[in-house]
Chain A
Amino acid sequence: MALQSLDIKRRSATTTPSPQARETLEVAKLIDVSACIGCKACQAACMEWNDIREEVGTNVGVYDNPNDLTAHQWTVMRFDEVETDDGGLEWLIRKDGCMHCEDPGCLKACPSPGAIIQYSNGIVDFHEENCIGCGYCITGCPFNVPRISKQDGKAYKCTLCSDRVAVGQAPACAKVCPTGAIQFGSKEKMKEYAETRITDLKERGYDNAGLYDPAGVGGTHVMYVLHHADKPALYHNLPKDPTISPTVSLWKGITKPLAMAALGAAALGSLFHYVMKGPNEVSKELEDEMEREDERLRALEKEDAK
């Protein structure tokens, strides 16, 4: 790739290494849930920048709009009303979307070469022109993020605005956030910044404030600052310890080359069995016996004809 900012370090369904000589800075988006006011400016900015519009749906009694991620809605604000132990109410708002996992389950599951790629800056991107629409990425994702479009049968999700990041711009959602709840920069910088936010939250009485950068998926390139980092499930079922499901690892792991070797051995074994043992033919003895019987019947027939 000509642009270093678009160097690809991992590619779906590809068994040889991708170019690795150049080292790119790892980036991350930090979403400070405690600073989010739920204005949805980020959602609007995402639609604007990427030119995607979900059809107007129906209200199901919550603020989430639309109700779920779709192929045309790559980020959704999730609103949760949580009762605290002392009888108070907390309104928790989480910006949902792709986490840009360092070890992406979607990429691991995808059977189509180059349909899912990971840039060396850590962003996980779908290249829809290579997508076959099988939905394996949905099966592989621990965060239930990718969606297949009803329009074209391809999978879509947040790109972390890879096109903007490639030219040194922050993602549209980060650019537009009025409270600074969405920050973007090098992963290292974002972790440092998160520390200051966590210290602040702890001073304000949120003893369990912390960073959500789950190690089970190798860390993520979208991280959250949570006031209740001990209970991520409060935030619309954010998984506490996400990993690529063991079932998916079994499906996509070492079992595949082993299975292929077994089938190859069966085919080659058959060939060599034939070559070494020879065909299983009808014995000469039986053939002659049947031949004699045929002759006898033929002779009888002739006699009858006379």
Chain B
Amino acid sequence: MIRNPRDIQRYNASERANHWVVGICFILLALSGLAFFHPAFFPLTQLFGSPTWTRILHPYIGVVMAVFFLIMALRFARLNYIAQRDIEWLKRVGEMVNGDDHNMPEQGKYNGGQKMLFWGLVLGMSLITITGVLMWRSWITVPVGVIRVASVVHAAAAVFMIGLIIMHVYAAIWTKGTIRAMLYGTVTRAWAKQHHRAWYRQVTGDKR
């Protein structure tokens, strides 16, 4: 497919690479973590070589993800400050989910839902990283009471974030023309105008 030269750039190459490093790490962490989370998922350890390898690798992958997530979060944080129009959008999210976006308020580069996801992930990542390090017996020894709380919080944060990511991935699949933003970096003008009109105006100078 020859893409239209008038398409709009949404992510540059470095932002895309950063996002995929975090995404791949997250999937590996979710698969390896779920293996310990419940016996039903224990066979997932075979994906990582063996159960013991899964236990060894998980925290190291976690450290890689934490570093790249931090970089990504710093890059995107300013675009995710919550504004009045995001609150309006969130109040009417029901209409959106119902498949009718005609009356949704105009959105900037990110809509209210995306911003909530961003801050939810910032919270979840902070919790899961701190607790994960506390649980890392190969390197760290802390009192057992701390490890117990860390274990619960780590598991809860993991479920919370896996839930958020299911929604995140689904939203990208549901909204046609979105995934290419993270693959080639561009979206069509029509896509931008429909879903993020304020951003569309800002980058194109189009007043309509």
A contact set with B: CB distance below 8 Å = 13-15, 111-113, 130, 132-136, 138-139, 144, 148, 153, 245, 247-248, 250-251, 256-257, 259-260, 262-263, 266-267, 270, 273-274, 277-283, 286-287, 289-290, 293-294, 297
Contacts and interface: CB of A to CB of B under 8 A. Distances in A.
21 contacts: A15-B39, A111-B39, A113-B42, A133-B55, A134-B137, A136-B36, A138-B147, A139-B148, A153-B138, A247-B151, A247-B152, A248-B148, A251-B148, A259-B155, A263-B163, A274-B174, A282-B194, A282-B195, A293-B6, A294-B6, A297-B6
Contacts of A257: 38
Interface in B85-100: 97-99
A153 B54 CA distance: 13
Contacts of A144: 144
A44 B199 CA distance: 76
Interface of B: 4, 6, 35-40, 42, 45, 51-52, 54-56, 97-99, 101, 137-138, 144-145, 147-149, 151-152, 155-156, 159, 162-163, 166-167, 170, 173-177, 188-191, 193-195
Contacts of B148: 139, 245, 247-248, 251
A280 B98 contact: no
Given A112-B42, A259-B159, A263-B162, A281 B51 contact: no
- With most chain B CB atoms within 10 A of its CB, the pick from A274, A290, A294 is A290
Contacts of A132: 45, 51-52, 54-55
| Chain B contact residues, majority secondary structure | helix
Contacts of B97: 273, 277
Top-9 shortest CB links A-B: A270-B170, A247-B148, A111-B36, A135-B137, A277-B99, A13-B39, A286-B190, A259-B159, A132-B55
Contacts of B176: 279-282
Contacts of B151: 136, 139, 247-248, 251
- With most chain B CB atoms within 10 A of its CB, the pick from A14, A251, A273, A280 is A280
Contacts of B174: 270, 273-274, 279-280
B40 A134 contact: no
Contact of B166 (A15, A111, A148, A267): A267
Contact of A260 (B38, B42, B54): B38
A247 B146 CA distance: 10
A278 B51 contact: no
Nearest to B191: A282
Contacts of A112: 42, 51
